Amino acid sequence: MAVPYVSRKRLNPRDLDAEGKFYPAPAYIGEIGVNKIAEEISESTTLTPTEVIGVIRSLLLIVPKYLMLGYKVRLDSFGIFKLGLKNADTCKGHEKASEVTANDIEGVRVIYKADSMLSAKLDKPEYVKLDAKYINEETEQTGSGD
């Protein structure tokens, strides 16, 4: 399998007045949902697609529970999930640990790190550039990329 990519024009965040330059970027050709994934898992197991969907939905209930309790959640051969805290805009840091309060936290985010086994499966793939009809090279500019 080859990883599809396109040429995407990006601005220099340090010099927004400079002309953007083109870089390779992943080409997303669509989304795959739970139903399609369940069908494919069903083909290689004794579970029906409905049973697989039930397992996935249960996983989506259980993982946040353990993250909120302070656990890192490892899904063997897939990766590890953990919470990160977003500092509030007003949080400038404190001189003493005792000064840190919940008011310094704006929210949480989920951090995911792929397992080395999953990363190895994605290591050194072939690449295929998609036809220019998928991107307008002259007008598309993004600062962050997709």
Q: Once rounded to an integer, what is the mean pLDDT over residues 43-53?
A: 96
Residue matched to tokens 């949480």: 108
Q: Cα 101–107–108 angle (5° rounding)? A: 110
The domain limits of the chain are 72-125
Question: pTM of this prediction?
Answer: 0.70
Give 144's pLDDT tier (boundaries 50, 70, 90): very low
- Own/partner contacts of 116-123, CB < 8 Å, gap of 24 or more, are 117/77, 118/77, 118/78, 118/79
Per-residue confidence (pLDDT) for residue 133, from 0 to 100: 55
